[in-house]
Structure 1
Amino acid sequence: MAEPMRAVVTEPTATPRLAVREVASPHPAPHQALIRVTAFSLNAGETRTALAASTRYTPGWDFAGVVEQAAADGSSPRAGTRVFGVVPQGAWAEYVAARAGHIAEIPEGVTDAQAAALPVAGVTALVCLEEAGSLLGRRVLITGAAGGVGRFACQLAALAGATVFAVSRRPELRRQLHEDGVQPAGVFTTMEEAKAAGTYDVILDSVGGDTLGVALTALSFGGICVNCGNSAQQPTTFDARDFYLKSNGRLHGVWLGRELAGNCTPMLARLASLVKQGRLRTPIDTELPWTRVAEAADRLMQQGVDGKVILAVA
């Protein structure tokens, strides 16, 4: 019988719907390391799914911690190594089993909280921007710019030499971007306002709905819109003729689950290296003990978070 551990579980018939309970510890496969989790972050998609769950399970994608038991096939860092990474489910727990290709070492000088903020939001931003090719001198617009993906995307685009524009209703975004080292050329409250100010070579959209529909008609000729989410939870309609005749543009969808089918260690290591160098700032809104997960999830769903919420496991 598996040894027990504590983990956050969904409670479909209770209030709150997330609580720390005792569950069985994971048994790692030969290609997986067993990691003692010290911190994890919340992402909107996993949190929304967990709160609406009709079954009992342990959610969670992002984590940071220490290798308790290295992968039996020798593919992972050795026991005692500080690591961070992502799993398809189960990171909101004291222990998690993770593939070697889904974890990377935490560099000296980078905290567990910083590392836990990186995987899903950072890798999503990186993959989306790389899909657009070289950003040097290009006008890049990022919707949902106050969120985790958005804040990372603004920084990464600026580091790549782009002229950065941002869309968010959050009044503090311009100040926060300055703190992140980004000098935005424009900050707009709506996509309509952004479109009225010009066209864009690259648009990274995580909002979906009407925002995506307008974005597709705000591309420069030959531009690309990369969509990675639908936080609006609404279908998208747009003027197809306006899109293909005026912009000759492209629409590309990024789903991180597809990216995680392969080896994401190099991307994780690249992001962590930028943090260590002081070139990438982890936009952490709040750090809380993991016993307050229900409160943290509620704040995230009520859009009361700018950047990332990190929960410390103790």
Structure 2
Amino acid sequence: MIRAITVDPLAPLHLAFKEVDAPQAQPWEALVQVKAVSLNRGEVKDAKEQEASSRPGWDFAGIVIEPAKTGAGPQKGARVVGLLPLGAWSEQVAAPVSMLAEIPDELTFAEAATLPVAGLTALYALRKGGMLLGKRIFITGSTGGVGLFAHQLAAQSGAFVVGTASTEDKAKLVREVGADEVVVGYSEISSASKFGPYDLIIDSVGGATLAALLPQLAPQGICVAVGFSSSNTATIDMMNLVTSGGRTLYSFFLGEELTRHAAADDLSLLARLVAKGRLTPRIEVQAPWTEIDTVAQSLLERKFSGKAVLHIG
């Protein structure tokens, strides 16, 4: 038996510890002793909608204790980072080797655990813009996990990058990670037009923000909608969108993207960038996983920027 965090409708945040059966790996899966996990707002919110005893958790990092029987992927003793659709908040996991990458010795487990959901989302969203050298990019949610990674990766591409922040203090952080300009306050989102038009917009806010950004796309520009933190509905000026022609609104869902990308290779790329000092995970909170309730509540209330990591064992 092992311990895992499961859904309990009677718990304050619907999260509780429970003894569960140790995972049994399929031939294409490796068994991993989990050392750290990172939290994403989506999985914490989803826990309240899941059935009792469901197993939340996406991002994890740890050590392979039993390699895949096919012989593929990381071998026993390898330090790895990985991604699961469910169940990562556990002492041990069985993970497909296609979602598992070895990490350099220079990386801590905490740093590695921040990479799967936030890092891959940022990487794949930026790739929608094609060759970014000399292009203009606008990123909302700049101080979140995805936003901070997206800014750092975009800055290295040679693009002109504009970010967002709710306060002047947070704007300093956005500039530190590579933004050329920062729009302060989402009520001022229309003022972003003075730095545009944009070849690529990455939006995690939705609602009125998304509606205000679409007219700021350049001809043949693309807006990648990766979330809807403010509202899941938006009123779009269809006449402007249609008569402008050539602009694209792309609906981004990481689970679907992973069916068309080599996640293991891309996780390895992100890990190497961190090891070389070209990408820096911003970890605002680190705590034992026994403090899941406190950290998850702070995450939902947006009390910190960047990522939260829980250590297991």
Name the structure 2 match of 1:280: 279
Alignment-derived partner of residue 217 in structure 1: 215
**Within 5 Å, which residues of 2 pair with 1:78-97?**
78-97=75-94
Moved more, 128-137 or 256-265: 256-265
* Runs of 5+ consecutive residues of structure 1 not aligned to the other structure: none
Q: Supply the distance in 2 between the matched residues of 1:33 and 1:197 (Cα, whole angstroms).
A: 48
Identity %: 41
Residue number among 132, 136, 139 corresponding to 1:139 in the alignment: 136
**Contact 1:220–1:247 (CA under 8 A) maintained in structure 2:** no
Structure 2 SS opposite 1:71? coil
Distance 2:235 2:184 in 1: 21
The within-5 A match list for 1:44-123 is 44-123=41-120
The one-letter amino acid of 2:181's match is A
Letter in 2 for 1:235: T
What number of residue pairs does the alignment pair up? Answer: 310
Q: Is the 8 A contact 1:102 1:260 kept in 2?
A: no
Q: Secondary structure at the match of 1:172?
A: helix
Q: Deviations over 1:156-191 (max 9, x none)?
A: 1101111110123244332223443x1422333222
Q: SS at the partner of 1:90? A: coil
Return the TM-score normalized by structure 2. 0.94
Q: Which moved more, 1:276-285 or 1:243-252?
A: 243-252
Q: By how many angstroms is 1:212 displaced?
A: 1.2
Question: In terms of mean alpha carbon deviation, does 132-141 or 198-207 score higher?
Answer: 198-207
Q: Give the Å deviation of 1:211.
A: 1.3
* CA deviation after TM superposition for structure 1 residue 259, in Å: 2.3
Which of the residues 11, 20, 23 maps onto 2:8? 11
TM-superposed deviation, 1:16: 4.2
- Corresponding position of 2:198: 200
The offset of 1:23, in angstroms, is 1.4
Question: The residue matched to 2:122 in structure 1 has which SS?
Answer: helix
Name the counterpart of 1:161.
Answer: 158
Q: Is the 8 A contact 2:225 2:250 kept in 1?
A: yes
Alpha-carbon separation, structure 2, partners of 1:76 and 1:230 = 35
Q: Secondary structure at the match of 2:215?
A: coil
How far off is 1:196 after superposition?
5.5
Q: CA deviation at 1:52?
A: 3.5
In the aligned structure 1, how far is the partner of 2:167 from the partner of 2:14? 28
Counterpart code for 1:188: V
What's the offset of the Cα at 1:305? 2.2
Secondary structure at 1:217's aligned position in 2?
A: helix
Q: Which runs of 5+ in 2 are unaligned?
A: none
Which moved further from structure 2: 242-251 or 300-309?
242-251
Q: Does 1:227 align with 2:225?
A: yes
TM-score w.r.t. the length of structure 1 is 0.94
Task: Name the counterpart of 1:184.
Answer: 180
Greater shift, 294-303 or 47-56, is seen at 47-56
Helix, strand or coil at the partner of 1:216: helix
Bigger Cα displacement from structure 2, 213-222 vs 255-264:
255-264
